[in-house]
């Protein structure tokens, strides 16, 4: 059975922290789907198409990685693509508390899908897409926080 994992997120924009988690997770699965979520409660800075394009460019040489936009319940998308796992990156304890609540809800909705948490490397623990967007909005240099493929 092929081990398929979904790494869902808005990736608005993808950061070096996201890339760190993806780089370390990809060898654990036969296929890692990076799901760029469309969240009705969030107003993204970059289009889904742009975010997917950046991620595809970053991982163009990794055949186990697929990038797709999706909307709706993450657990429904897992079933649609045959994913048995959901990957979540953790920076701090507060991230874990939030992510565990979501994982518990997902487990109740779909006991066949397991959530796996990976902590990011320490040098990326302070980077978040929210902070990167603030730097961009205020015309600061966000280049040190995002992969070189991310251009704005």
DSSP string, the chain: ---EEEEEE--TT--HHHHHHHHHHGGGSSEEEEEEEE-TT---SS-HHHHHHHHHHHTTT-TTEEEEEEES-HHHHHHHHT--EEEEEE-SHHHHHHHHHHHHHHHHH-TT-EEEEEEPPGGGTT--HHHHHHHHHTT---TTTS-TT---
Given 16, 51, 88, 129, the catalytic residue: 129
- With contact defined as beta carbons under 8 Å apart, do 5 and 32 qualify? yes
Given 42, 60, 137, 151, the catalytic residue: 42
Given 56, 64, 79, 91, the catalytic residue: 91
Catalytic: 42? yes
Catalytic: 63? no
Catalytic: 79? no
Given 16, 18, 51, 88, the catalytic residue: 18
Catalytic: 129? yes
Active-site residues, by number, are: 18, 42, 91, 129
């Amino acid at each position: 059975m092929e081990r398929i994992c979904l790494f869902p997120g808005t990736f608005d924009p993808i950061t070096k922290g996201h890339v760190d988690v993806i780089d370390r997770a990809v060898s654990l699965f036969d296929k890692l789907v990076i799901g760029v979520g469309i969240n009705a409660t969030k107003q993204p800075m970059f289009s889904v198409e742009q975010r997917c394009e950046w991620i595809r460019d970053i991982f163009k040489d990794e055949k186990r990685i697929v990038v797709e936009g999706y909307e709706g319940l993450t657990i429904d998308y897992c079933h649609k693509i045959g994913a048995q796992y959901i990957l979540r990156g953790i920076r701090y304890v507060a991230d874990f508390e939030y992510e565990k609540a979501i994982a518990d809800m997902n487990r109740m909705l779909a006991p066949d899908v397991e959530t796996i948490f990976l902590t990011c490397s320490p040098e990326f623990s302070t980077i978040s897409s929210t902070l990167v967007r603030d730097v961009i909005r205020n015309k600061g240099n966000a280049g040190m926080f995002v992969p070189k493929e991310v251009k704005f």
